Amino acid sequence: MQNKLFFPQRTINRILFTAFLGLSCQGCQLIAPYQTPCTPTPLAWKNTPSSNFPDSWKTEEPSKEADTDRALSNEMPEQKELNFEECKKEFEYWWEVFEDSTLSELEKQALDSSYTLWAALERVIQARAVARVDRAALMPSINFAPSYSRSGMLLENIFAGLLSSQQNQGQVNAGSSSGAAGASTSVPSSFRAVQTQYMLPFDLNYELDLWYQLTNSYNAAVYSSQAAAQAYLSVLLTLTADIASNYFQLRDLDTQQVILKKTIEARQKALDINRTRFKAGLIVYLDVSRAEVELARAQADLADVQRLRALQVNILASLVGVPAPVFTVTFNPLKKPPPTIPAGLPSDLLYRRPDIAEAERSLASAYSQIGVAYASFFPSLNLNATLGLESPFAHSLFSWKARLWEVGLNVMQSVFDGGRNCANLAYTKSVFRETLANYQERVLTAFQDVEDSLVSIRQRAIQGQALETAVTAAKETLNLSQMRYDRGLVNYLDVVDAERTLLETEQNSAIVLGDRYVATVRLIKALGGGWGEISYYPRCWETD
């Protein structure tokens, strides 16, 4: 029995009971459960063609799935594994509504190559790692700290110290003191006392979360990681929307190139005819000169449009994540109007927007920080325990006599901190109010984004119809002017004016068509992308 490691059952029971007591202590939550702020939401959009102006307002009511995911401040949110590949698969490819294979290819390439998206994903990973660090503070820490020490001290110093201690305590008489002094002086100065110590201790430290300070800190970190996840989705939505917008602007420039090339071809033909007529003496050289001017202006406009297209291609290359020198986009002018977004979309579709979800999660995180600040006013309790072996000899380190144990509870209460805790509480409350204001402002901005997009789509459609009529009339005017000029009824200036009007009208019509596509993309972005099931927290961020 003397050579075996053995701890009395009573000692082990004390340590286990103390640990169980610490783990089973239920704390006191110092703040009320977090609730998502209510936001007045319009019943309908006012700029949809068939909508009526709403006279009443309703209070935003999140979906049941959203309520499930929004953990209360005194509950511990579940932290699961990040699955980026599943997230990309689940992400709704809203751009497929345009039925453009080139756009779909660019969007999917950006999902794999965009450095902006990559950086946003790393921020999510960082936030989740911080949450795991805070979660570790809720658990006991157990450390194994083996040590070996060897120390030496002069024997005369040891005896002198003993003699001094006896004299100070008055526990020795004069005779014994002189004898001790004589013994001390008789020890050679080269003699030393050497002590060796072997230790194999396991140290346990556990902070009792009586005031939910650690829990609220962990909650805040989890909510921040959820906000980072929504920020990633916001970057994803912004990136895909920017690619679509710039792509349709590129196609608009292609449409303008088609118009200008046809105009150049027609004006070159008119110039050749005028030169032939001038040589025949039928017209004056002024008409030839005017035809040359109009041809050169059209050629200059084409060169400028080609310059703008090259710049647009470079912008797309940067968004997609491909070097500009090796990136090209095929020529593809716009030929048909954009798809129609269903009118009368419910207003609660706004809460699909990841930027609003990000603001709401940041608000929850700021609220949990208030609980952390309140807990700093109350005492903190730490449970400490040590269980191990200690011996001056290696051969007896694992014997019954070498056992070592210690259990203790430390309490720390701030008595005076110069107002630090009060200032920290005031700061966290102010941060919460600021975050709340930002959340409300984000919601209002979302309403504005949708209404701006709806009114742009509606008015651009009206403008496009008017310009189509104007283009038809301009073509007829040009034909009549050319016929009258051929008959000698008008001078060539009337033909030039009709050509300019037609070119300007066709270019404006092409620009408006491109703006309609861009406005449609902006509406989709304002609605959060796509029309799938509304979900505050996509399933792609979690795995079972």
Encode pLDDT of 356-396 as tens digits: 999 999 999 999 999 999 999 999 999 999 998 888 888 88
Where on the phi/psi map is residue 386: left (φ > 0), alpha (ψ -120 to 50), or beta?
Answer: beta
Task: Decide if 83 is inside a domain.
Answer: no
What pLDDT is recorded for position 179?
46
pLDDT of 69 strictly over 70: no
**Residue 160 banded pLDDT, cuts 50, 70, 90:** low
pLDDT of 37 strictly over 90: no
Task: Give the H or E element holding residue 141.
Answer: strand 141-144
What pLDDT is recorded for position 338?
93
What pLDDT is recorded for position 76?
45
pLDDT of 130 strictly over 50: yes
Cβ pair 369, 220 in contact under 8 A:
yes
What pLDDT is recorded for position 533?
47
| Dist. CA 335–CA 252, nearest whole Å | 10
What pLDDT is recorded for position 170?
56
Which one, of 315, 254, 298, 212, lies nearest residue 503 by Cα?
A: 298
**Residue 16 banded pLDDT, cuts 50, 70, 90:** low
Task: Decide if 489 is inside a domain.
Answer: yes
Which CATH number fits the domain that encloses residue 219?
1.20.1600.10
pLDDT of 80 strictly over 60: no
What pLDDT is recorded for position 72?
34
Mean pLDDT on 308-329:
95
Phi, psi of 114 (to 5 degrees): -70, 125
Task: Decide if 532 is inside a domain.
Answer: no
Domain housing 227: 94-139+212-378+420-527
Task: Decide if 284 is inside a domain.
Answer: yes
Task: Decide if 43 is inside a domain.
Answer: no
**Residue 161 banded pLDDT, cuts 50, 70, 90:** low
Mean pLDDT on 116-122:
91
pLDDT of 2 strictly over 60: no
% of the chain surpassing 70 pLDDT: 74
What pLDDT is recorded for position 136?
92
Neighbours of 360 (CB within 10 A): 27
| Dist. CA 423–CA 526, nearest whole Å | 39
Q: CB under 8 Å, gap of 24 or more: what pairs does 433-440 form?
A: 435/359, 435/362, 435/363, 435/366, 436/37, 436/363, 438/359, 438/362, 439/37, 439/356, 439/359, 439/360, 439/362, 439/363, 440/37, 440/39
Lowest-pLDDT choice from 25-39, 139-153, 458-472:
25-39
Mean pLDDT on 493-498:
92
Task: Decide if 205 is inside a domain.
Answer: no
pLDDT of 316 strictly over 50: yes
Encode pLDDT of 265-313 as tens digits: 999 999 999 999 899 988 899 999 999 999 999 999 999 999 999 999 9
Lowest-pLDDT choice from 159-163, 323-327, 401-405:
159-163
Encode pLDDT of 53-64 as tens digits: 333 333 333 333
Task: Decide if 51 is inside a domain.
Answer: no
Cβ pair 369, 216 in contact under 8 A:
yes
pLDDT of 165 strictly over 70: no
Encode pLDDT of 356-365 as tens digits: 999 999 999 9
| Dist. CA 116–CA 242, nearest whole Å | 12
Phi, psi of 251 (to 5 degrees): -65, -30
Mean pLDDT on 217-244:
94
Cβ pair 484, 490 in contact under 8 A:
yes
Q: What is the mean pLDDT of the chain?
A: 81
Helix, coil or strand: residue 47: coil
Helix, coil or strand: residue 112: helix
What pLDDT is recorded for position 536?
39
146, β-bridge pairs: none
Q: How many domains does the chain have?
A: 1
| Dist. CA 344–CA 347, nearest whole Å | 9
Mean pLDDT on 445-456:
90
What pLDDT is recorded for position 447?
87
pLDDT of 79 strictly over 70: no
pLDDT of 176 strictly over 50: no
Task: Decide if 126 is inside a domain.
Answer: yes
Mean pLDDT on 415-435:
94
Neighbours of 364 (CB within 10 A): 26
| Dist. CA 122–CA 114, nearest whole Å | 13
